[in-house]
Amino acid sequence: MDEPLSAKIMDLLIDTICVVDHAGCFIYVSASGEHLFGYAPEELHGRNMIELVHPDDHARTLSAVDEIMDGEPLMHFENRYVRKDGRIVHIMWSARWSESDRLRLAVARDVTELRRAAQIKQALYEISEAAHAAEGLPPLYPLIHRIISKLLPAECFHVCLYDMASGRLSFPYYIDGRDGEPRAEPDRSLQEDPFIAEVIHSGHALIRSATLAPMPDGSEAVCEGDWIGVPLASQNGVIGALVLRTHGSNGRYTAEDMELLQFVSTQVATAIERKQAETRLQYLALHDALTRLPNRTLFYDRLDMALEHAKRDGNQLALLYLDLDDFKRINDEHGHEMGDHLLRAVAERLVKCVRAQDTVGRMGGDEFTVLLSNIQGPVNVQTIENKISKELSKPFVIGAECLSITTSIGRAIYPDDGDNREALLHLADTGMYAGKRNSGIS
């Protein structure tokens, strides 16, 4: 028997015509449904439509079905279906219920490309906003992860940065869906990760499908999921890569997914470089360019914070003010470059004399400060002073020169000598110059 003309016409339509019974099972799907769902029409006959709906859209889809069956025609309802090949397709539906036939009639249109374009546009906007809003790089990475998770499965997500000078990879943000908490991974050489190395050297995205490994019983099982790596490319070259991975057979990545990720990765690279530049500028603004120690601004900030904590917790802290004796003579006799080398060497020794929780700063010239937090009284401070004096009295071998210096140190202890920054600095500075006069040093 020839196929009815109406069926032939419906099979010529670009949109897909679906007829579903009262139980939600397909009883007719036009020919274009194979392109939409990935299943031949006969494979869908008798199958419940909810089985194809993306799990995250089940509830609202069933709610929409109830409205339709209550007699409310539904226009432009959008949800996601999972195709036979595992890909997700966005579908816009128009549907109504025929009570006399006890059937639901619907027209389905594939709007995946429209939805993807809108998602990309939104993602680019959100990444740009994140670059403005994030206070530094560490808060930026989870924001980027959250944005990309709206586009692709990204439970396993890694930000990899590449240092061209050292050839090393760093992983400041690394999250594996199985452990749930983001972390920083140890650095490694580019050669240790051939897939990332290929992405960075080529400047092109790479997709690797799940691999199979033999089980002890001889069967095969998925041991690694799909892997996508895209370069973080900027005007300065490739600065790293974004890596997404699935676990086992949980989801598959497609060439379209790789293209999408590569498209947004340019904006991500721009955001990261922006924050890196801001971090460098902030560092330069708060650190001495010669010694890399905290400068006056940062040291005062840390001193103020330490005072707040000491007042709250009832602890003591000490402030030391140091000056290198007769430093001008060294500059005059050996030159300013030698003086700069000496100042850097002094800074290194001072840092080694104190604990990680303490702060060494450079006030300018040959003057340094040391903040000792949570001390155990004057005896404890004297021990640190003696250690500093001993270390700085050792000869400094710089190139072919061997230089010897001494230092004058003044101290102030909170709360015995003052309860604010100005009082402590004044007393420590005064004590330092008194020590110079007592030693006959101008």
- 123 within some domain: no
Please give the structure tokens belonging to residue 121: 């546009």
Domain extent, residue 408, equals 296-439
Residue 319, H or E segment: strand 316-324
Q: How far is CA 436 from CA 26, 323, 351, 402, 431, in A?
A: 95, 9, 23, 23, 9
Same domain flag for 142 and 272? yes
Q: How many CB atoms lie within 10 A of CB 140?
A: 24
For the chain, helix, strand, coil in percent to 5 are 45, 30, 25
Same domain flag for 35 and 70? yes
Q: 241 pairs with which residues across the strands? A: 160, 231
How far apart are the C-alpha atoms of 428 and 318, rounded to whole Å?
A: 9
The average pLDDT across 377-390 equals: 92
- 91 within some domain: yes
Same domain flag for 215 and 144? yes
- 116 within some domain: no
Same domain flag for 158 and 255? yes
Same domain flag for 58 and 93? yes
The average pLDDT across 187-202 equals: 91
The average pLDDT across 6-14 equals: 71
Q: 221 pairs with which residues across the strands? A: 213
DSSP category for residue 404: -
- 124 within some domain: no
CATH number at residue 401: 3.30.70.270
The average pLDDT across 59-78 equals: 93
Confidence class for position 1, pLDDT limits 50, 70, 90: very low
DSSP category for residue 205: -
CATH number at residue 177: 3.30.450.40
* 233-260 confidence digits (pLDDT tens): 988 889 999 999 887 555 578 888 888 8
- 241 within some domain: yes
pLDDT of 17 higher than 80 = yes
Same domain flag for 156 and 186? yes
Residue 18, H or E segment: strand 16-21
- Report the number of distinct structural domains present in the chain: 3
* Domain end point (choices 251, 284, 317): 284
- 125 within some domain: no
Confidence class for position 434, pLDDT limits 50, 70, 90: confident
The average pLDDT across 136-161 equals: 91
Same domain flag for 184 and 278? yes
* Domain end point (choices 227, 257, 284): 284
Please give the structure tokens belonging to residue 187: 């650095």
* 75-94 confidence digits (pLDDT tens): 999 999 999 988 889 999 99
Same domain flag for 26 and 67? yes
Same domain flag for 388 and 308? yes
Same domain flag for 15 and 87? yes
Q: Show Cβ contacts of residue 21 under 8 Å, excluding neighbours closer than 6 positions.
A: 27, 102, 103, 104
Confidence class for position 210, pLDDT limits 50, 70, 90: low
The CA R_g of the chain, rounded to the nearest whole Å, is 34
Same domain flag for 142 and 95? no
* Domain end point (choices 75, 110, 145): 110
Q: What is the pLDDT of residue 125?
A: 93
CATH number at residue 45: 3.30.450.20
How far apart are the C-alpha atoms of 338 and 318, rounded to whole Å?
A: 31
DSSP 76-141: EEEEEEE-TTS-EEEEEEEEEEETTTTEEEEEEEE-HHHHHHHHHHHHHHHHHHHHHH-SSHHHHH
Please give the structure tokens belonging to residue 274: 């922006």
Same domain flag for 252 and 336? no
Q: Check: pTM over 0.75? Answer yes or no.
A: no
Q: Give the N- to C-terminal CA distance of the chain in Å, as an integer.
A: 116
- 118 within some domain: no
pLDDT of 368 higher than 50 = yes
What are the backbone dihedrals phi and psi of residue 170, each rounded to the nearest 5 degrees, phi first? -120, 150
The average pLDDT across 379-405 equals: 92
- 119 within some domain: no
